[in-house]
Amino acid sequence: MRKGMLDWLRDTDADVVCVQECRARPEEFPELPGWRLHYAPNERALGRNGVGVLVRPEVAAESVRVGFGAEEFDATGRYLEVDLPGVTIGSLYLPNGVAETPKQEEKDRFLALFAPYLVERAEKAAAEDRQVLVCGDWNIAHTERDIRNWRGNRRNSGFLPHERDWVAAVLASGYADVVRDLHPDVEGPYSWWSYRGRAFDNDTGWRIDYHLTTPGLAARAVSARVDRAAEHALRWSDHAPVTVRYE
């Protein structure tokens, strides 16, 4: 927030902003003029995770749900859903694993539970004549176009074969990756760059921040961009906002 996110929130014309890895309690947020915050902190480890959905004050949430029915993860600030008129918005911070460690096992357990939930949520939404949009840090680069150094990361978490297959299965279940659909033949557009070395300056990035949505809303996506900082010194996160306009 101190590095420039408040300025971005002031200037954006977005109706909804999803935030992840906030690492804060609700009362620790600064005042956010022009926004109402719905937030799920990590109740088990302070200073970790935390996801939220910011909406304009004039838009009333019909309901808010924390988690997705998984006892291991629901209180850890990983997922929050807000029902707005006609659309359910999910803010996701999927675990970041480390290959061949307990952290990867935790990530894989999350994947195993979250995929069927996404199918269930889409089916419920269809029955209610609403769409679903899940935004956030998915911590998986799906294809070689989604990571600059794909050859060097084939054995690293975030680009493991079974993780990439998991994303493919989610897409096959009916969700659309609208940023990729709008930019089908480009490398990236990347949304995360390591703070180490000159990754940002060289655009050695990963595309791991997705808008995955049900078909009805996907058909209304008309533009997508990554708000990449002009230079390294102006970054206010190792991620950059991914903005999609739906009409």
d(CA 210, CA 170): 12
Global pTM?
A: 0.96
**Could you tell me what percent of the chain has a pLDDT over 70?**
100
Q: How many CA atoms lie within 13 A of 78 on its CB side?
A: 23
Q: Is 148 helix (H, G, I), strand (E, B) or coil?
A: coil
Strands, E assignment, 100-241: 131-137, 176-177, 209-213, 221-226
Q: Is 2 helix (H, G, I), strand (E, B) or coil?
A: coil
**Tens digit of each residue's pLDDT (9 = 90 or more) over 43-67:** 999 899 999 999 999 999 999 999 9
**Tens digit of each residue's pLDDT (9 = 90 or more) over 73-84:** 999 999 999 999
Question: Measured between alpha carbons, how far is residue 223 from residues 160, 202, 209 in Å?
Answer: 29, 25, 16
Which are the contacts of 6, defined by CB distance < 8 A and separation ≥ 6?
A: 30, 32
Other residues' Cβ atoms within 10 Å of the Cβ of residue 196: 8
The domains found in the chain, sorted by start residue, are: 5-246 (3.60.10.10)
Q: Give the residue-averaged pLDDT of 105-134.
A: 97
